[in-house]
Amino acid sequence: MFPTFDYVLQLKDFSDEPQSYKDLVNAEIKYCNQNVDRIYKKAEEVYKIGTNRNHPLAYTCCDFKLLEDKCLDYPSQLTETMQQIATTNED
């Protein structure tokens, strides 16, 4: 579980994958669809632990607040990187 922006997500084309892998992915999708409420509830519980560094299980979680902060920095970092690439290509 980590934060991201929709515009960086890509759909995966499974047409060239072996049938056994497609079957596995389809089984996982089916499980997720059948258990969506439980999955969201568990994700919220884990998030609460990961955002409370005083929780006894916090050491087992990512620092979600740090990940969220870094995610918010991503667009500006991407812009800076693109500007650096453009400047380099001009030389």
The reply to whether 40 falls in a domain is yes
For residue 90, the model assigns a pLDDT of 66
In the chain, how many domains are there?
Answer: 1
What pLDDT score was predicted for residue 34? 98
The Cα 12–Cα 42 span in angstroms is: 26
H or E segment at 41?
helix 36-50
Mean pLDDT by 10 residues, the chain (91 residues): 80 94 96 97 92 91 88 76 70 59
Give the C-alpha separation, 18 to 20, whole Å: 5
- Tabulate helix, strand, coil % of the chain (nearest 5): 70, 0, 30
- CB–CB of 71/3 below 8 Å? yes
- Domain limits for position 49: 20-90
Assigned domain for 7 exists: no
Q: Is residue 29 in some structural domain?
A: yes
